[in-house]
Structures are given as C-alpha cells and as structure tokens.
C-alpha cells in the first residue's frame, strides 16, 4: 500500500496546457449546465463534478482511448468529456434534444458515450464496480487487451457489491482499475462518520491487490499513477485500487444548500482547486501568460458555442421514447 506524494509534473508545458484545456472545458461545461438547469432548459437530476476535473483529465490521459472502457457514477460529465465526448452532443443530451449523445433519452444521470469508451453512468451507488469487473473478465477472453476502469465515490466503498467486485477482480486477476473519487463527502455525510479509517486505499490489502492514494487535484500525478495501474492490469497482473483525493466545489446536487459544510471549508478547497493550481504552476515554469489565457479563453468559447448549438437543436420526439429499450 502506498501513498503517492504530489510530484512536480513531469509532463512538458504543451501537455500541461492540454490538461488545462480539458479541465477548463469540463469546469465551464458544468457551470453552463448549472445555468441552463436554472432556466429550465436542462431538467431532471444533475450532479456536477466541478473541482474534480484533474482526476478525469489525468486518468483519461493514461488510457488507450481506442479500447479501454470507463464506468463512472452519476457524476459522470467530466469522465465523458475527458474521454472525448462531443460538447454539443453532451449539452443536447442534457436538454433532451435529438442530437444528444443518446438522442435525448439518457439525460444527465444516465448518459453513455460508447464511441469514446464511456460506457454509461449509473445511479445505483457502487454498481459500476461489478459491471466493470464483468467487462474486464470479458477482456481476458476476447483478445482485446482492454482495461476497464470503475469510478466510484468514497461512500460507495461501503457497498456490498463493491466489496464483491474487489474480491472477484483480485481472485480472477482481471484487468480492472477501481478509482475512488474521494471528495470527503458521501452525499451529505463525511466519510469519517461512516468508517473507522478514511484511508480507503488501504482496503486493497484485504483483497491482495495494490492500493495507492494520489493527489486528485494534480492531473499529471493522476496520470502517472493510472499509467502504472494500466500497465499492471494489461500485463495480466490484476486490479489496482486508486484513491484520488479531491474536493467538489459545488453541492452534491444542483439545489444542495450545503449546510453540512463547516465555516471556511469552501474557501479552503477553492484555494486548492486544480485549475488555478495548474495555472500557477505554468506561470512558475515560465509559460507565457498570454498563451495560458488563450488556452483558457478558447476552451470557454468552445463550450459556450456548443451550448448555443444544442439549444436550437430539435427536441427529441416523445413518440420514439420506447425505441432502443431492451429487457
């Protein structure tokens, strides 16, 4: 069991600017979704991932986007975008438009983008773990060499199905990586209130698999840890449990009053959030500030343009609601 320090990023400046672009795109997407939810253009349950962008960005950078698969939670917008989902198709999906990635059928909590390896959100807490284990088991026999990633929240590690998935994956030595997005809150309850130890990566030892904790607000640190886990899995050595430490800078869901936060908590986590932190590092590295600002401005402009395009797309036809349903 290891606790990975947050190293100075080893990636070059161009790569770090690419990470910045991805993280800004995710953050601006979520900000725009919140605005659209307020106007009624987006309806239904919405869980934003603002503040956790470095996990998705770093993890996706370590995966083979032509074959590896990701199974996230209902807080999955960031995973989809980091994997390469189209911005306009994502906005359209949340607005119930025909041009959505699922034709407007999935909405925020159930969207999937299999073309980029994002295999679908799941509103059953922890359900992605056994599903990803099944995909990893299939990979052992189909010759694809793929790795499956199950992304779960810290609260999900107490679910029975997650323990079963850990055990099965370890016993079968299948190529799956369990990523715990530890934002310290299991919905509205602190993880410290539900377990005697909040060092969740240490649970891996009970199953005989590697476990590591990483700074989830550092995209390059996440990439390094995930690259090792991917190599481990693809080499036939079985699963890894990665605990990525982060904070969400928004509520658990849109409309969450966040009365459970202690005074000063949001100020603290906003000061450590990954985008401003990466910008500060780029400045320290000597990257021209105009180049950094241009990267940010372009990402924001692309998100807003995609939102505008989605808003004028036709609404999905209710008469086709029962199509593509299987039992």
The pLDDT tens digits for 229-264 are: 999 999 999 999 999 999 999 999 999 999 999 999
Q: Are 151 and 83 in contact (CB under 8 A)?
A: no
Mean per-residue pLDDT for 88-104? 97
Alpha helices per DSSP H over the chain: 13-39, 53-62, 77-83, 87-94, 128-142, 160-172, 219-234, 265-271, 274-285, 289-311
Mean per-residue pLDDT for 138-153? 96
**Residues 52, 55, 58, 64, CA torsion sign:** negative
> Quick one: CATH architecture of 2-309?
3-Layer(aba) Sandwich (3.40)
d(CA 43, CA 37): 6
d(CA 111, CA 197): 33
The residue written with tokens 């090792």 in the block is: 228
The one-character DSSP state at 84 is T
The residue written with tokens 């009365």 in the block is: 259
Helices (H), strands (E): how many in the chain?
A: 10, 8
The pLDDT tens digits for 106-120 are: 999 999 999 999 999
The pLDDT tens digits for 210-227 are: 999 999 999 999 999 999
Q: Within 10 A of 256 (CB to CB), how many other CB atoms are there?
A: 16
Query: Over 90: is that where the pLDDT of 321 sits?
Result: no
């Amino acid at each position: 069991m290891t606790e990975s320090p947050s190293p100075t990023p080893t990636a070059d400046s161009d790569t770090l600017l690419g990470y910045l672009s991805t993280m800004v795109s995710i953050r601006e997407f979520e900000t725009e979704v919140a605005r659209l939810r307020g106007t009624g253009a987006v309806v239904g349950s919405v869980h934003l991932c603002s503040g956790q962008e470095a996990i998705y960005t770093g993890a996706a950078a370590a995966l083979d986007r032509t074959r590896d698969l990701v199974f996230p939670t209902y807080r999955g917008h960031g995973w989809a975008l980091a994997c390469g989902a189209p911005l306009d198709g994502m906005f359209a999906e949340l607005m119930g438009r025909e041009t959505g990635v699922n034709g407007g059928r999935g909405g925020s909590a159930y969207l999937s983008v299999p073309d980029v390896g994002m295999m679908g959100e799941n509103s059953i807490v922890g359900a992605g773990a056994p599903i990803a284990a099944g995909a990893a088991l299939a990979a052992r026999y189909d010759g694809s060499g793929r790795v499956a990633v199950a992304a779960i929240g810290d609260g999900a590690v107490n679910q029975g199905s997650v323990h079963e998935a850990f055990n099965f994956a370890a016993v079968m030595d299948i190529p799956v990586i369990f990523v715990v997005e530890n934002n310290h809150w299991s919905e509205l309850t602190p993880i410290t209130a539900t377990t005697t130890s909040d060092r969740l990566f240490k649970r891996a030892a009970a199953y005989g698999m590697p476990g590591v904790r990483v700074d989830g607000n550092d995209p390059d640190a996440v990439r390094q840890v995930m690259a090792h886990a991917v190599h481990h899995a693809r080499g036939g050595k079985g699963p890894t449990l990665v605990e990525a430490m982060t904070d969400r800078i928004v509520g658990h869901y849109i409309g969450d009053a966040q009365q459970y936060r202690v005074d000063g908590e949001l100020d603290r986590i906003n000061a450590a959030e990954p985008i401003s932190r990466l910008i500060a590092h780029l400045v320290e590295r000597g990257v021209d500030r105009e180049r950094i600002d241009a990267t940010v401005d372009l990402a924001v402009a692309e998100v807003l343009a995609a939102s505008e395009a989605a808003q004028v797309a036709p609404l999905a036809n209710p008469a086709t609601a029962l199509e593509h349903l299987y039992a």
